Structure 1
Amino acid sequence: MLTALGNAVRASGVSVLLTASIAAGAAIGHLRPAAGELLGSQVDATLLALVTLLFFGVRFDAVVRAWGNLRFLALTALATYVFVPAIGYAIASAMLAAHPLLMVGLTIYFMAPCTDWFLGFTRLAHGNVALGAALIPINMAGQLLLYPVYLRLFAHGPVEVQAGIVGDTLLHWFLAPMAVAVLAHYGLRRLMGAERFGRLLRRADRAVPWAIALLVMEIFAANIAVILEYRAAFAWILPAVFIFFACTFLLGEGISRLGRFAYPEHTLFTMSIAARNAPLMLAVTMAALPGEPLIYAALVIGMLVEFPHLAVLRRVLAGQRQRANRRAAQEAGHRPGNNLTVF
């Protein structure tokens, strides 16, 4: 429980960290343009470090544990890669039609499932954490493989996507770092032993938000003039994100009832389709679509709203659990010796 609480506190703290990095980057870029350009020149190195950290922390061996729940995996894949991107595109295109680059950025944010912090909120809400750990590498691979498809479907027109650029980007910026990170992951685990390597993984996990914050600061420092020019349009991003989260909650409720998920799987499913993978999508998009600060800024703004939403969602799911337990206790109250717990 303490680990889960720590995860949630850190996740909520990321919002504060990102807000501070946006403010610092904007101030540096506005007051000291030369310093902003210098920070912007470091984006590639920071991006590579972030991608390597993200892949290094993935527990790929957890996939084996998922094969016993194929029905859950099938419904999750259907929602994650069909329903949720369609909902996200519909919302972004309806609310940001006048600002196509922001629309593309928000659509990219909506289409990618989370591969990290959703698990801490799932644990706090008493969801199925073991199955959730197995979703992490599956979601990581799925969103990378489908990224070129989504980009051509949803970004056709607002941005120019040259033939082969996404594939080359994934190969040089992500598949190669992934290979290095996975080799380092398993090689160091063998050399260090499980306990010491576990501590190293936790340090790597804690380093990820700081790498994201540094990247965000560099983006805003180098591009604050363009972002300020379109500042009024960003007011539309917040209600769009709110509507998206409301729709994913309703989708989670509907599919969980149709699939007859028990509470732990219901919670995991709801959290997994709500939380988004903005760090990886920010990295992929910066490499695949260089020189588009409005797209990057839309991704960052969406990430800021996500953590408060996940905290509220945890409380809603916990309330459902408590009400179900009370109903079960009332039904079993007249049966002597029956101490039933539903969830």
Structure 2
Amino acid sequence: MLNLITPIYRNGLGLTALLLLTGIVVGSVTGYLAPNIATYISDFMDPTLFVLIVLLFFTIRFNPIITDKRKLKFIAIAVIANFVFVPLIGFAIASVFLNHYPLFMLGLMIYFMSPCTDWFLGFTRLCRGDTMLGAALMPINMTLQLLLFPLFLYLFSQNIVELETGIITDTLLNWFIEPVLIALTARLALKLVLNHDQITRLLDKVNRLIPFIIALLIMQIFAGNIDVLLGHIDVFIWMLLAVFCFFVLTFMLSEFVSKRFSLPYSEHVLLTMTVAARNAPLMLAVTMVVLPSQPLIYAAIVIGMLLEFPHLTLLSHLLMRSSHSKTAERLA
């Protein structure tokens, strides 16, 4: 297991988990011991959020369109799994464990419904999965989850939060048009002065910066809302159980689908990772824009994000053990 954890930390994935935990602890302690400082810190959440959204869109990688029929078949399978079956699984789990805590339930639903568009590829690479196909899946996941977010939020937020007609779409447009324009303009400008390799290195550096921005945002959330969060600390055990069940059932889903369609190992790995990993950073940003002043919803998303890394580490261990066993059987 240590042989697996070492490359995870080398790739910065373990560092991300540590940063998120640090953000929670520092924010909570600051909010509890120094409320005046916490109020000042939390007042800057909007600028932090804006920077995060710009960077998330700036680092989107546009990849060649896949034309291979087998690859297109996999993409169709992954899209149906991620945007039909996974949200249904998430809704069932959240309803069972958090039916009496509607804000936490909505937060977990938002976390459950959005497939990852970044760090799942690191785990896919670690387990020798199909990273080129995964890269082609990234913009598809990003586009679909943003388009479907208003629909999912409308379906899952009934009687939980008050939403005015058209507020979701209007707010998303107002908050995201400007960051998208800034990000795209910056990318086009860079193409005029930098070559492909230089742009790739720059994008990698920005990707390494994003976890620090997320950790800062989490620190601000917990610093400004620690009293509210401490008042619901008893709910966190139910959230942990809900996320655990979600990870177990989505793993079973990916195993079933992989066997049903006889996916090769590289695609099996990719499907497992894209179904397991969720796009918590973007969903946290989107939710804070559309549903302001809802710290319980944000906390649910953060908890899911924090638990995701040990889960993906365990999945990597299981997949690599499976790969080694199959190799040994072929050589026997």
Alignment TM-score, normalising by the size of structure 2: 0.95
Deviation at 1:247, TM superposition (A): 0.5
CA 1:131 to 1:25, structure 2 compared with 1: closer, same or farther past 3 Å? same
Unaligned runs of 5+ in 2: 1-5
Deviation at 1:175, TM superposition (A): 3.4
* Mapped partners of 1:238, 1:38: distance in 2: 31
Deviation at 1:36, TM superposition (A): 1.2
CA 1:127 to 1:7, structure 2 compared with 1: closer, same or farther past 3 Å? farther
Q: Give the conservation status (yes or no) of the 8 Å contact 1:8–1:121.
A: no
* Mapped partners of 1:132, 1:66: distance in 2: 14
Q: Give the conservation status (yes or no) of the 8 Å contact 1:66–1:134.
A: no
Deviation at 1:252, TM superposition (A): 0.2
Q: Give the conservation status (yes or no) of the 8 Å contact 1:125–1:267.
A: yes
Q: Give the conservation status (yes or no) of the 8 Å contact 1:29–1:224.
A: yes
Q: Give the 3-state SS of the residue equivalent to 2:60 in structure 1.
A: coil
- Name the residue aligned to 1:337: none
- What do residues 218-274 of structure 1 show as CA deviations (whole Å, max 9, x unaligned)? 001111110011111111111111110010110001111111111101100110000
Q: Aligned residues, how many?
A: 327
- Name the residue aligned to 2:84: 82
- Name the residue aligned to 2:7: 5
Q: Give the conservation status (yes or no) of the 8 Å contact 1:63–1:137.
A: no
Q: Give the conservation status (yes or no) of the 8 Å contact 2:32–2:223.
A: yes
* Mapped partners of 1:6, 1:266: distance in 2: 20
- What do residues 299-322 of structure 1 show as CA deviations (whole Å, max 9, x unaligned)? 001111000000110111111111
- Name the residue aligned to 1:340: none
For 2:265, give the aligned amino acid: Y
- What do residues 22-69 of structure 1 show as CA deviations (whole Å, max 9, x unaligned)? 111111111221211111111110001001111111112x15136652
- Name the residue aligned to 2:3: none
* Mapped partners of 1:229, 1:172: distance in 2: 33
Does 1:64 find its partner at 2:65? yes
- Name the residue aligned to 1:113: 115
CA 1:260 to 1:91, structure 2 compared with 1: closer, same or farther past 3 Å? same
Bigger CA radius of gyration: 1
* Mapped partners of 1:85, 1:238: distance in 2: 18
Q: Give the conservation status (yes or no) of the 8 Å contact 2:23–2:216.
A: yes
CA 1:95 to 1:66, structure 2 compared with 1: closer, same or farther past 3 Å? farther
Q: Give the conservation status (yes or no) of the 8 Å contact 1:63–1:138.
A: no
Q: Give the 3-state SS of the residue equivalent to 1:65 in structure 2.
A: coil
Deviation at 1:289, TM superposition (A): 0.5
* Mapped partners of 1:169, 1:185: distance in 2: 25
Q: Give the conservation status (yes or no) of the 8 Å contact 2:27–2:222.
A: yes
* Mapped partners of 2:134, 2:20: distance in 1: 26
Does 1:30 find its partner at 2:32? yes
* Mapped partners of 1:97, 1:42: distance in 2: 33
Deviation at 1:8, TM superposition (A): 6.1
Residues 98-247 of structure 1: pairs in structure 2 closer than 5 A: 98-247=100-249
CA 1:262 to 1:191, structure 2 compared with 1: closer, same or farther past 3 Å? same
Q: Give the conservation status (yes or no) of the 8 Å contact 1:56–1:185.
A: yes
Q: Give the 3-state SS of the residue equivalent to 1:156 in structure 2.
A: coil
- Name the residue aligned to 1:334: none
* Mapped partners of 2:323, 2:256: distance in 1: 17
Q: Give the conservation status (yes or no) of the 8 Å contact 1:7–1:120.
A: no
Deviation at 1:9, TM superposition (A): 4.3
Unaligned runs of 5+ in 1: 331-343
- Name the residue aligned to 1:17: 19
Mean Cα displacement is larger for which, 163-172 or 184-193? 184-193
CA 1:63 to 1:8, structure 2 compared with 1: closer, same or farther past 3 Å? farther
Q: Give the 3-state SS of the residue equivalent to 2:65 in structure 1.
A: helix
Q: Give the conservation status (yes or no) of the 8 Å contact 2:8–2:14.
A: no
Q: Give the conservation status (yes or no) of the 8 Å contact 1:28–1:36.
A: yes
Q: Give the conservation status (yes or no) of the 8 Å contact 1:63–1:135.
A: no
Cα RMSD (Å) = 1.6
* Mapped partners of 2:25, 2:204: distance in 1: 28
* Mapped partners of 2:67, 2:54: distance in 1: 25
CA 1:142 to 1:175, structure 2 compared with 1: closer, same or farther past 3 Å? farther
- Name the residue aligned to 1:286: 288
Q: 2:42 aligns with which of 18, 40, 43?
A: 40
CA 1:261 to 1:21, structure 2 compared with 1: closer, same or farther past 3 Å? same
Identity fraction in percent: 47
- Name the residue aligned to 1:255: 257
* Mapped partners of 1:197, 1:9: distance in 2: 19
Q: Give the 3-state SS of the residue equivalent to 1:291 in structure 2.
A: coil
* Mapped partners of 1:124, 1:138: distance in 2: 22
* Mapped partners of 1:319, 1:196: distance in 2: 37
- Name the residue aligned to 2:324: 322
